[in-house]
Amino acid sequence: MLLWQLILIQVITFVVLAFLLHQFLYRQVTRSLGRLQQLYQENREREEELKRKREETERELRTTMARHQEEIGRLRAEAEATARKMQEELLAQAKEEGRRIVADAEAKRERMRVSLVSEMEEKAVGLASDILGRVFTAPVAQSIHAHLIDELIEEIGKSDGPRPELETETVEVAVPFPLTQTQRERLNTIFSSNMARSVDVKEIIDGEIVAGMVVRLGNVVLDGSLKTKVKGMLAYVRESLSR
């Protein structure tokens, strides 16, 4: 009897204990499971949010990189265009500078040539005049001299009307030989008529003229000397040869 009572008490105790444990543990387990489920859901949501943000960040990064690549391409194209333009400008400047240098060199060479030709002509004229002065006999030189003077007097006499604007009162006449009275009177008459007043003819003897005469009226020079005639002949010959 005692054994059955003991067993019954143990069974009742076990059942009560099991009931209490069931009630207590079930609630705890249920709450824990609910909490775990909530945490799991929150983690899923956070993962989804992180995934969404990562995808947005990647899209923004790709967009930014594409924009930067486009900007780099544009800047590179602008830099290449600027470099080409600068190269073309430098090339054009170099060509222009080259043309200017060549033109300056050509102009300098032409000036040197003209100067050399002029110097040679002066020497040739001087030499020719000197040779003619030495070769001509006195009668021949006098004849050429008289012809050149008459030629210049006729040319002066053909001038267009009076020239009262010439303010000089003295006409200088450079000749290698003294003027004849007739020549002096003709010059005096012509210049007095051309200048509309009486003038003084001043005669200057210059042996370097060789033949002919040089007339000076202030700043006006009328050259009818043999040297000028020879120079004109040389210029004519040079022009004929250059054709």
The neighbouring-strand residues paired with 200 are: 170
Give the three-state DSSP class for 164.
coil
Give the three-state DSSP class for 230.
helix
CA distance 121 to 117: 6
The answer to whether the CB of 154 falls within 8 A of the CB of 186 is no
Question: What pLDDT is recorded for position 46?
Answer: 84
Residue 137, pLDDT > 60, answer no
CA distance 145 to 202: 18
The domain limits of the chain are 75-135, 137-242
Question: What pLDDT is recorded for position 113?
Answer: 76
| Mean pLDDT value across residues 72-88 | 86
CA distance 220 to 192: 16
Q: Is the pTM of this model over 0.75?
A: no
Residue 42, pLDDT > 60, answer yes
| Mean pLDDT value across residues 16-42 | 70
Question: What pLDDT is recorded for position 231?
Answer: 74
Give the three-state DSSP class for 179.
coil
DSSP string, 76-116: HHHHHHHHHHHHHHHHHHHHHHHHHHHHHHHHHHHHHHHHH
CATH number for the domain whose boundaries are 137-242 = 3.30.2320
Segment holding 186, helix H or strand E: helix 181-195
The answer to whether the CB of 224 falls within 8 A of the CB of 151 is yes
Q: Which of 27-41, 103-117, 156-170, 212-226 has the lowest mean pLDDT?
A: 156-170
Q: What is the layout of strands, in order, in the sheet containing 214-217?
A: 200-205, 170-175, 214-217, 220-223
pLDDT in tens, 211-235: 888 988 878 888 888 777 777 776 6
Nearest 5°: the CA angle 10, 15, 19 is: 145
pLDDT in tens, 186-195: 888 888 777 7
Nearest 5°: the CA angle 229, 233, 238 is: 145
The answer to whether the CB of 201 falls within 8 A of the CB of 171 is yes
Pairing of strands 200-205, 214-217: unpaired
- Classify residue 196 by its DSSP letter: T
Confidence of residue 106 (pLDDT cuts 50, 70, 90): confident
Closest by Cα among 195, 190, 200, 201 to 158: 190
- Kindly state the tokens that stand for 161: 């009307």
